[in-house]
Amino acid sequence: MNSPTKEDAEVLLQTAGVVYDDDPAALTVIAELERRLHEPLRLAIAGMVKAGKSTLLNAMLGEQIAPTDAGECTRLVTWYRYSKTPTITLHTHAGEPRRMPVRREHGRLVMGLGGVPAEDVDWIDVGWPLEGLKSMILIDTPGIASLSEDTSKRTTRFLTPEESPSSADAVVYLMRHLHASDVKFLEAFRDTAAGAAQTVCAVGVLSRSDEIGSGRIDSLLSAGKVARRYEHDGDLASLVLGVIPVAGLVAEGARTLREKEYAAFRELAALERADRERLFISADRFTGESDATTLSAAERRSLLSRFGIFGVRLATALIRGGASTSSELSDAMVKQSGLVELRQFVNDQFRTRATTLKLRGVLLELEKLIRDNPREGTEQIRAGIERISAAAHTLRELALLASARSDGLPFSQEDAADAQRIIGGSGTFAHVRLGLPDDSDDETMRACVDAKLAYWRTLAESPLTERAAVGVCRVVIRSLDEVASEVAPAPEPVADASEVAGADDPLVSSADVVLTSGPGDGLGQSAEEQGEDHKSRLRRKKKEKRLATFAERHPLR
C-alpha cells in the first residue's frame, strides 16, 4: 500500500469544496486546511511559566527576536515564519490584521502592541528572513499554570482545544522539574493532536539544565542523568519521544555571541587560577567589586545576564581548552548546551515525518467539519479520510512507539530494541532504522534489510508468537518494506526493441518483446523516451537523496 501524499489530501479537500460550495464558513475552514497542507511543519514551544521557552526559541533561530522579558507580548501566542523581509502583524479577535513597526534595540527585537489591549489580540505573526523558517514554523506560547488564568488559557485553547484538533503538528515541551501539570498538559496534547490514533508528537526538554548542578561545570552531566530518569518515568514515557537536557541561556548566548563578549571571556580565561576561581564562586561575587580584571561590574553583569554563571565558566574553560576564535567558541558552547541534540532530534523525529503529521491535522479538522455539518456527499469524504488514515503507516509507527515506551514490547530485550529502532525510535533515515553507520552504502543496507525481513517474518509466522506480538511484527515488517523500497536498486533502462528481439538471450520469446510502435500502439513510448524517463528518475532520486542528507546534517540551519 502506498503512503498517503499531499495530493491525496488535496483531492479530498477539493471534493469538500464542491460539497460545501454554498457554505461560506465551511469554505473558510477548507481554505485554511489547504494552506496548512502546503505550509511548513508547525512546531510549538510550550511549558510552564519561566521554563525558558522564548530563550530556547531564540537559540533555535540563532537570533534574538522572541521577547524574553515579562512584557505583554509574552502573554500571547506568537508565530515565527519565513518572510523575505521582517514583519510583525497583530491579529485581533475582531477587525483587520494590524501591521506593527519592526524595531531592534541592542540586537534584540522589540515588540509592542501599539496600545491594543492584550485581551483583544488573538495572536501575533512574525515574519523573518531566516533559512531555518523555510522548513518549519516555530510557535511561542504563554506559560501554562500561570497565575494569570487568561494567559494559561491562551495556550490550552491553542494547543489542546476541547472540540477541535491542535493547531500545532508537534511540540517541544520545556520543564525544569516534572510536575503534575506537565503530565496533564502532555496528556491533553496527545489526545487532542492525535485523535483516536494515540500517537506521540512531543519531545521533552529539561530546560535551564545548567542550574541543576548549581552552575558547576559538570551541571549538564547531572542534568543528563535526570533527563534519562524522566524519559523512563511511568507518567512521562508514553507522552514524549525523548527528554533532552538543554541549557537554553548558554545556547542563545552562544548563537548570538559578539566579538566584544569573546574578548571579555579571553580576559577572564587569562586570569590567574586563584583569581578566576574567587571571581567565579557565585553570581554575586562575579558582579561585585574586583581588582582582578579590567572588566567593569556593568560588563560582568551583562555577561551574567546573557550567559549565566555556568555559561561564563564554560566559555572561559573552552578558551583555555583551545577555542581561539569567537566562531570556535560559539560552536563549542552550542555543542555543550544540548542544542545540537535537540535540533537533531527535531529533524529526525518531526521534520522527516512532516507530511504525515500535517496530513493528520488536516484530516482531523476535516473530519470535524463533516461531523458537525453532515450533508449529501460527506460520506464520500469520510471514506476518503479513512482510506488515507489507513495508509498512513507513520502514524502506526508513532502509536507503537508510544505503547513501547509506556508498556514495553512483548519480545526479548534485544528484539524490542531492534523493533523500536526499525519503526523510527532513533530516527527515520534508512541506515538509522537498520542500526548501520551513516556511511553505509545501498548494497550493505539491502543485505541488512533482507536479513531483518526474513527474521521478523519468521517471528510473525511462528505458532509460538502471541497475537499481540504478531501485530507488532506486522508494523515492523511494513517499516522494513519501506526501507527496502528506499534502498532498492534503480531499474535497468529499457533496451531497444531490436536488442530485445536479438538472439543473444535464448530465454526471450516473442511474447516478451514489446514493440516501440505499430498498429494500435499509439500510446507506447520509444526506447529512447523510456531511457530519458529513467535518467530523469535517477536524477530526481539523487537530488532527493542529496537534500535528505543536507537536511540531516544541517537541521534548522
Which residues have C-beta within 8 Å of that of residue 122, sequence separation ≥ 6?
77, 91, 92, 93
Q: Residue 402: what pLDDT?
A: 79
Q: Residue 551: what pLDDT?
A: 44
Q: Alpha-carbon distance 285 to 550, whole Å? A: 45
Q: Which cell numbers hold the place of 326? A: 569567537
Collect the ranges in the chain with pLDDT lower than 50.
1, 196-197, 496-535, 538, 543-544, 546-557
124 strand-pairing partners: 78, 90
Q: Residue 199: what pLDDT?
A: 66
DSSP-derived secondary structure letter, 516: S
User: Among 391, 384, 397, which residue's Cα sits nearest to residue 352?
Assistant: 397
Q: Residue 34: what pLDDT?
A: 95
Q: Alpha-carbon distance 460 to 472, whole Å? A: 9
DSSP-derived secondary structure letter, 172: E
Q: Alpha-carbon distance 118 to 146, whole Å? A: 16
Q: Residue 209: what pLDDT?
A: 87
Q: Where are the alpha helices (DSSP H) in 199-296?
A: 219-231, 248-255, 259-269, 273-279, 283-287
10 Å CB burial of residue 509 (0-12, 13-18, 19+) is: exposed
Cα dist. 439→436, 480, 539 in Å? 8, 19, 21
Q: Residue 69: what pLDDT?
A: 72
The dihedral sign for the CA sequence 177, 182, 183, 189 = negative
Burial call 89-126: b when 16+ CB within 10 Å, e when fewer: ebbeeeeeeeebebeeeeebbebebeeeebeebebbbb
Cβ count near 151 (within 10 Å): 19
Contact criterion met (CB below 8 Å) for 159 and 168: yes
Q: Residue 329: what pLDDT?
A: 97
pTM: 0.79
Q: Which cell numbers hold the place of 366? A: 476535516
**What are the tens digits of pLDDT across the range 300-309?**
999 999 999 9
Burial call 340-376: b when 16+ CB within 10 Å, e when fewer: bebbbbbbbbbbbbbbbbbbbbbbbbbbebbeeeeee
Beta strand extents in 145-209 (DSSP E only)? 170-175, 202-206
DSSP, collapsed to helix, strand or coil, labels residue 46 as strand
User: Among 132, 321, 344, 336, which residue's Cα sits nearest to residue 254?
Assistant: 336
**What are the tens digits of pLDDT across the range 41-74?**
999 999 988 888 999 999 999 999 988 776 677 7
Q: Residue 135: what pLDDT?
A: 92
Contact criterion met (CB below 8 Å) for 173 and 204: yes
Q: Residue 330: what pLDDT?
A: 97
The dihedral sign for the CA sequence 96, 97, 101, 106 = positive
Cα dist. 408→221, 232, 237, 393 in Å? 27, 11, 10, 20
